[in-house]
Amino acid sequence: MTAELDTNAQKMVANGKGILAADESTATIKKRFDAIGVESTEANRRDYRELLFRSTEAMQNYISGVILYDETLRQKASDGTPLVALIEQAGALPGIKVDAGAKPLPFCPGETITEGLDGLAGRLKEYRDLGARFAKWRAVIDIAAGIPSRGAIEANAQALARYAALCQEAGIVPIVEPEVLMDGDHSIDRCYAVTEFVLKETFHQLYHQRVRLEGMVLKPNMVVPGKKATVQASVEEVALKTVRVLKNCVPAAVPGIAFLSGGQSDEEATAHLDAMVKLGGLPWALTYSYGRALQAAPQKAWSGKVENVAAAQAAFTHRAEMNSLAAQGLWSPEQEARKAA
């Protein structure tokens, strides 16, 4: 079991490949569909995700794994093929979102705790039987006046570690996702300080829960200023500060770091990843685990119309290829423009 965990974790961060986060909850994907004028029915959700998983070039060349929602893990394509099988046929690993979302943390206004540990061991066994080989749990840390508190950081880090231990016991690679949000008007230095605290506490708790670092993948935020900050940061500054905090906090035994995009634009997320990889000399692989930054373009191109499937797949392939180049330190704005044309 240990060997399988380590092997799958390595596959998830393979050179030039990244993870597609297609695990939007029913409520979240409804918002995405509302924006493109598509009704969020089970059939439409299946059709959209099926077109992604049937994007042969993107899936085979640029995607190492796909994070699914419970509904999607159980769905079949229009021809009766399980969606999990489409992912496996492309050479990627199926994964599953297992947390129950962030809920208000008692006596901590503005802060949350991610729930979902109750009954998780049983659900993980079922998910593995359904084909999942890795899982994801997202902890949310907000920055505002007086927060985050130490209590909120510790509670979320402990929940992440307990989830990760349960995953490994079930033969499932845990993606550990402590996300410091980029909402608000905080500076990049404030984001750095909070991210450092969160990462150090997370690995402290992982150690206490005896989580095998070689059999996990870290999915952190990048160090960026808040979206409402008056002073924004250059690509170079984001790359330097993100790599610095990771070197200070993440043990070399972790096989790879798959960044979340966290609300950045498509091209920002790509440029930041590329700049970090170009710095070189890192003990772990760097790659992407993007949702919106991979899907916004294909969703808009598709707009719920069968005749737009090919255009949507082309848009998905383009974004996946650009991020694949970034994960190898080979991306450039000129390439982005040329490929898009």
- List, in order, residues 6 or more apart from 146 with CB less than 8 Å away: none
End-to-end CA distance of the chain: give it in Å, rounded: 46
**Which among 11, 17, 219, 241 is annotated as catalytic?**
219
Q: What b/e readout covers 5-16, taking b as 16+ CB neighbours within 10 angstroms?
A: bbebbbbbbbeb
Dihedral (CA of 93, 166, 105, 248) sign: negative
The 10 Å Cβ neighbour count of residue 84 is 23
Residue 103 appears among annotated catalytic residues = no
- List, in order, residues 6 or more apart from 9 with CB less than 8 Å away: 134, 173, 214, 215, 216, 217, 255, 256
Name residue, tokens 């170009």: 278
Residue 177 appears among annotated catalytic residues = yes
**Which among 50, 111, 177, 201 is annotated as catalytic?**
177
Pairing mode, if any, of strands 102-104 and 112-114?
A: antiparallel
Q: What is the DSSP string of 78-92?
A: TTS-BHHHHHHHTTP
Hey, which residues are catalytic here?
177, 219
